[in-house]
Amino acid sequence: MNHSDLDTMRKQLDELNHQLLDLLSRRAEIVQKIGHEKQRQGLPRFDPVRESMMLEDLVSRNQGPFDNTTVRYLFKQIFKASLDLLGEEQKKHLLVTRKQKPEDTVVRVKQVEIGGPSPVLFAGPCTIESYEQMRRIANQLQSKGISVLRGGAFKSRTSPYDFQGLGIEGIQILHQVGSEFGMVTVSEVMDVGDLGSIVDSIDIIEIGAKNMQNFSLLKAVGQLNKPVLLKRGPSATLEELLLSAEYIVSCGNDQVILMERGIRTYEKWTQNTLDISSVPILKKESHLPVLVDVSHSTGRKDIVTPCAKAALAAGADGIMVEIHPDPSIAMSDALQQLNFDEFHDFIEQLRVSGLYRPHTKM
Ligand code: PEP
Ligand code: MN
């Protein structure tokens, strides 16, 4: 074989490479069209039966020199690259992203706007313990012009032996006190089965951190016409949080509020690590309102004020803080709940900072 033969074969190889690239690109375009059609018809993107049939068809035509295993491997890579292409495309078009909707989503509940020009404060006890306790708290909030009352009735406790909350009775107390004081109420739901009986009694449904990836629950609240407060899981990435929000929004409910509540790290001096960078990142990536829970992210009341200031300075649409008339006897999270005097100082310091006044959101 002389030099010119080698050159000729190399040219043929280049030509075949170009043809292969051309064929792969044309194949990818058809895959994209099929993907769009499947999405329109609500069909799953990946069809393993169809993929296996295509592979067997190719193997049956294989005349060598590649063996069947290699043919399967090569085409599997081509199939996977096409699927990845669809995945990337879908990610670019997530409903919760700013690319999809550039303007801020404002969640309106009664007189409250979450995600609007002024930051909002959600406050209340970790656990609803009694009607009297909730009345005292509502009274305290009202005197400070705060109209969102939180309280847990179904508690997601780490130990099954810890107090699990008053359940439906707690929801009824919250509903009654909320109605008496004209307040917006927030409470966690853990079970799809409980949704029906409580949906009309609370204004904002909280999905707790430990349930951020309870996909059945996300789909169920996605069917409701009711705001949902979605908390970031203790080990969830921001992308996972947004994908969980996407579950809700893609089911038709766009009234979703995101909440940073700290993530699990090696640090022991706080209960969780408040990821303050999540605030500007979520605000940049998504149009949904972003709130920060300064109580569960820190687990200690002595630093909730600077953490709330940091959250507001970072662009948060609001803060959640736990308060209790007498934290020392609280049924849960006793160490992080503020008493009324501490709550007064908390609000005053936020006001003085200039970060918590109407129309001051940065
Ligand atoms: C809560 O907000 O009541 C709560 C239990 O917090 P988390 O889900 O963030 O642990
Ligand atoms: Mn709590």
What is the structure's pLDDT at 358? 55
Give residue 134 CA to ligand 2 midpoint distance, Å: 15
pLDDT of 87 above 90: no
Give residue 54 CA to ligand 1 midpoint distance, Å: 48
Give residue 132 CA to ligand 1 midpoint distance, Å: 22
Q: Which two tokens stand for residue 175?
A: 């509903």
Ligand 1 atom 4, closest CA: 208
Give residue 208 CA to ligand 1 midpoint distance, Å: 5
Peptide bond into 65 cis (omega under 30): yes
Distance CA 73, CA 59 (A): 11
Ligand 1 and 299: CB distance under 6 A: no
Which residues on neighbouring strands pair with residue 231, listed in sequence order? 259
Atom of ligand 1 nearest to the CA of 262: 9
Q: Which residue has the higher pLDDT, 357 or 20?
A: 20
Pairing of strands 112-114, 107-109: antiparallel
CA distances from 169 to 176, 182, 197, 228, 284 (A): 11, 20, 11, 21, 40
Ligand 1 and 150: CB distance under 6 A: no
Q: Which two tokens stand for residue 112?
A: 């409250």
Contact by Cβ (8 Å): 310, 273: no
DSSP state of 104: P
Ligand 1 and 209: CB distance under 6 A: yes
Ligand nearest to the CA of 291: 1
Ligand 1 and 208: CB distance under 6 A: yes
Give residue 106 CA to ligand 1 midpoint distance, Å: 23
Distance CA 100, CA 112 (A): 25
Ligand 1 and 151: CB distance under 6 A: no
Contact by Cβ (8 Å): 294, 319: yes
Ligand 1 and 231: CB distance under 6 A: yes
What is the structure's pLDDT at 3? 80
Distance CA 343, CA 337 (A): 9
Atom of ligand 1 nearest to the CA of 320: 2
Give residue 324 CA to ligand 2 midpoint distance, Å: 11
Which residues on neighbouring strands pair with residue 322, listed in sequence order? 124
Give residue 221 CA to ligand 1 midpoint distance, Å: 17
Ligand 1 atom 10, closest CA: 209
Using alpha carbons, select from 38, 115, 136 the residue that is nearest to residue 82.
38
What is the structure's pLDDT at 1? 72
Give residue 290 CA to ligand 1 midpoint distance, Å: 16
What is the band of 40 on the pLDDT scale with cuts at 50, 70, 90? confident
The preferred substitution site among 261, 295, 321 for testing ligand 1, maximizing ligand atoms within 8 Å of CB, is: 261
Ligand 1 and 242: CB distance under 6 A: no
Ligand nearest to the CA of 320: 1
Where do we find the tokens 């292969």? 20
What is the structure's pLDDT at 226? 98
What is the band of 84 on the pLDDT scale with cuts at 50, 70, 90? confident
Rounded to whole angstroms, the maximal C-alpha distance in the chain is 98
Contact by Cβ (8 Å): 163, 169: no
Q: Which two tokens stand for residue 216?
A: 């059945």
| pTM summary value | 0.83
What is the structure's pLDDT at 166? 97
Atom of ligand 1 nearest to the CA of 261: 9
3-state SS class at 107: strand
The preferred substitution site among 122, 126, 128 for testing ligand 1, maximizing ligand atoms within 8 Å of CB, is: 126
What is the band of 277 on the pLDDT scale with cuts at 50, 70, 90? very high
Average pLDDT of the residues in 103-132: 97
Ligand 1 and 124: CB distance under 6 A: no
Computed over every residue of the chain, the mean pLDDT equals: 94
Average pLDDT of the residues in 197-214: 97
Percent of the chain, pLDDT > 90?
89
Give the tens place of pLDDT for each residue, 147-188: 999 999 999 999 999 999 999 999 999 999 999 999 999 999
Average pLDDT of the residues in 254-267: 98
H runs (alpha helix) in the chain = 3-41, 48-60, 68-92, 131-143, 168-181, 192-198, 215-222, 238-250, 278-285, 294-298, 304-313, 340-353
